[in-house]
């Protein structure tokens, strides 16, 4: 009996221990379930929702770029496109073959589509073609029942209404590359485009806007079932430029097939009304996608359509630089306005002859006549008396030799040489002959068309350091703190006397309005609109004595790349200056023959439209052809 009792007690203890263990495990499981379902319920509910709901970004509408009167220079338009859903067709190849009878699909597109079909899930839409015309889009819609897997779709794309006319200023958008991807998730959206050049690039963040989102219910494999809700994004800001679309278009047409640049600006506010560089390119092509052939054509074009010549082209200013030399000579006191030099066609310095552009010379010249006739001998003389250091000082006061802080990237500084610069760069001393050559805007001297316009503005506005501006945005990016700040105060005074400026302006007046002036043939005849200017012809290589004696004919016979540059700067009206202009024609020959007529027509059109007094809603329609002025 004791043995059986012991066995019974042992069995009871084991049963109790087993029951206690089971109870402990059950309690632990119950506690864990309570912890997960009650205490941590919010977290797991969120994880479950994430498995069921997909949050998708919605790209916002890109902000517009507009001119001073609200004319759209860059906007958005409907993007008619066609997408393919592979799972909805039994044969992708067959569907594409059927679609080719309606749309032009080249081998490159076909390879790209098939590559994406292999990489993505069968229910993910793949873009077949975009930026279709309405006629093409309509044809696809009509044949949709016979095209399994093909879905017509409407999105949004960037559009530049004026094409090449504003390309260098506004810029263009393009697909995001790997180097440009950052912490902004929008940049990873398929087909998303960002600004690559110009205003589109500089104000990218402002134009981009803020993304919206869409909550989509998806199944276990990620296929969208339905949209639960949507929150639209915030459209990008509009960027208003100081440009005038009418004047810009007129200037573009007036330049025609020339390789050149035009800048027109208000001499008091610094507003740039026209910034035109030709030839240009169609920015819409970059948005849609350029072919290899088209891209190589742009790269290999000797007239460099991808470069904005107004700010990135650096050229010898030629005789337009004589304005700075004259002011330096007068202000330094080495000569007066009635200082005379007899021009006999050349002077000798050491063993070298320095020639005037006029074969037998101009005779006796004072400063005003020397400017009017553009006498090289006179400016050789006063440049030697003044010295390169003093010439450089006044050239820099007038805006030459350093960037002007414009909004656009890639602005070049030009070059105003000094003896120290030459020693540092070339390791040799400055020569007196180089001062003479610099005195007529040749040699090492380089400038941009924008700098020449600013120089002319500062001469004509009474000697104030007006600074050019291209946008009217008050909260410009921090990196552009030199630009886009409204001028609440008058620009700084340069310290150049009114009497010296008056001498130079009178010389410019005679250039255009005196019978013996170098640009008299290109004068504006309409009373109250006359302009005062200065011609310039800049050599691009050393020329022989024979070429010098017949510059016009020899220029026409040379290869284009070897011809002189033609330049012209001016302000108008003469009696009450308001606008300044600079015109550069690459390898165009004489400035008086090719650049001055273009400047005349554009300056006349500018005054007809008079942007400083015109208001929104009062735009005039002008002729496509230059006016007979």
Active-site residues, by number, are 319
SS3 content of the chain, % helix, strand, coil (to 5): 40, 20, 40
Tokens of 563: 């011809």
How deeply is 18 buried, as exposed, middle or buried, from its count of CB atoms within 10 A (0-12, 13-18, 19+)? exposed
Q: Which residues contact 110 (CB under 8 A, 6 or more apart)?
A: 96
Beta bridge partners of 364: 342
How deeply is 362 buried, as exposed, middle or buried, from its count of CB atoms within 10 A (0-12, 13-18, 19+)? buried
Among positive and negative, which fits the CA dihedral 330, 331, 332, 336?
Answer: positive
How deeply is 530 buried, as exposed, middle or buried, from its count of CB atoms within 10 A (0-12, 13-18, 19+)? buried
Phi, psi values for residue 480, rounded to 5°: -115, 40
C-alpha to C-alpha distance for 209 and 147, rounded to whole angstroms: 37
Query: Do residues 200 and 240 touch, judged by C-beta distance below 8 A?
Result: no
C-alpha to C-alpha distance for 158 and 287, rounded to whole angstroms: 7
Phi, psi values for residue 234, rounded to 5°: -105, 120
C-alpha to C-alpha distance for 517 and 373, rounded to whole angstroms: 6
C-alpha to C-alpha distance for 103 and 602, rounded to whole angstroms: 44
Coil, helix or strand at residue 105: coil
Q: Where are the beta strands (DSSP E) in 14-71?
A: 53-58, 65-66
Q: Which residues contact 200 (CB under 8 A, 6 or more apart)?
A: 65, 74, 170, 171, 172, 173, 207
Q: Taking the mean position of all CA atoms in its chain, how far away is CA 73?
A: 12
Q: Taking the mean position of all CA atoms in its chain, how far away is CA 129?
A: 29
């Amino acid at each position: 009996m004791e043995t059986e009792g012991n066995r019974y007690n042992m069995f009871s203890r084991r049963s109790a221990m087993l029951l206690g263990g089971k109870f402990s495990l059950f309690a632990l499981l119950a506690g864990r379930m309570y912890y997960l379902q009650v205490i941590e319920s919010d977290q797991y509910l969120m994880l479950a929702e994430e498995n069921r709901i997909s949050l998708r970004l919605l790209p916002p509408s890109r902000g517009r770029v507009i001119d001073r009167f609200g004319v759209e220079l860059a906007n958005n338009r409907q993007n008619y496109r066609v997408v393919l859903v592979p799972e909805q067709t039994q044969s992708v190849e067959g569907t594409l073959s059927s679609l080719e009878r309606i749309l032009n699909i080249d081998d490159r597109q076909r390879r790209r589509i098939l590559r994406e079909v292999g990489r993505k899930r069968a229910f993910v839409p793949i873009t077949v073609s975009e930026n279709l015309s309405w006629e093409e889009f309509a044809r696809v819609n009509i044949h949709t029942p016979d095209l399994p897997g093909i879905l017509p779709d409407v999105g949004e794309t960037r559009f530049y209404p004026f094409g090449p006319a504003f390309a260098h200023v506004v810029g263009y958008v393009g697909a995001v590359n790997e180097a440009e991807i950052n912490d902004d998730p929008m940049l990873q959206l398929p087909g998303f485009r960002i600004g690559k050049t110009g205003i589109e690039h500089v104000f990218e963040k402002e134009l981009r806007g803020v993304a919206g989102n869409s909550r989509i219910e998806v199944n276990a494999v990620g296929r969208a079932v339905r949209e639960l809700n949507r929150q639209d994004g915030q459209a990008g800001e509009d960027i208003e430029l100081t440009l005038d679309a009418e004047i810009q278009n007129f200037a573009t047409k007036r330049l025609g097939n020339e390789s050149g640049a035009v800048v027109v600006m208000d001499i008091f506010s610094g507003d740039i009304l026209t910034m035109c560089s030709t030839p240009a390119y169609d920015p819409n092509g970059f948005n849609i996608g350029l072919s290899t052939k088209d891209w190589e054509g742009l790269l290999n074009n000797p007239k460099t359509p991808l470069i904005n010549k107004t700010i990135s082209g650096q050229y010898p200013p030629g005789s337009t630089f004589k304005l700075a030399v004259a002011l330096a000579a007068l202000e330094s006191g080495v000569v007066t306005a009635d200082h005379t030099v007899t021009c006999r066609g050349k002077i000798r310095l050491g063993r070298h002859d320095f020639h005037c552009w006029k074969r037998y010379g101009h005779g006796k010249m004072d400063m005003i006549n020397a400017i009017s006739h553009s006498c090289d001998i006179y400016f050789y003389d006063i440049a030697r008396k003044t010295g390169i250091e003093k010439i450089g000082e006044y050239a820099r006061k007038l805006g030459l030799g350093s960037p002007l802080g414009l909004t656009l990237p890639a602005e070049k500084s030009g070059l105003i040489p000094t003896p120290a610069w030459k020693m540092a760069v070339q390791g040799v001393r400055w020569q007196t002959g180089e001062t003479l050559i610099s005195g007529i805007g040749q040699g090492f001297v380089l400038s941009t068309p924008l700098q020449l316009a600013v120089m002319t503005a500062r001469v004509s506005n009474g000697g104030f350091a007006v600074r050019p501006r291209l946008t009217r945005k008050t909260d410009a990016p921090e990196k552009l703190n030199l630009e886009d700040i409204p001028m609440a105060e008058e620009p700084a005074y340069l310290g150049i006397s009114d009497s010296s400026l008056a001498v130079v302006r009178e010389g410019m007046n005679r250039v255009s309005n005196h019978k013996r002036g170098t640009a008299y043939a290109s004068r504006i005849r309409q009373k109250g609109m006359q302009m005062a200017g200065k011609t310039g012809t800049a050599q691009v290589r050393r020329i022989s004595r024979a070429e010098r004696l017949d510059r016009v004919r020899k220029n026409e016979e040379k290869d284009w790349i070897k011809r002189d540059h033609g330049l012209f700067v001016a302000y108008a009206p003469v009696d009450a200056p308001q606008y300044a202009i600079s015109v550069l024609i690459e390898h165009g020959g004489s400035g008086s023959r090719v650049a001055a007529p273009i400047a005349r027509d554009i300056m006349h059109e500018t005054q007809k439209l008079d942007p400083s007094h015109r208001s929104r809603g009062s735009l005039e329609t002008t002729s496509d052809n230059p006016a007979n002025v």
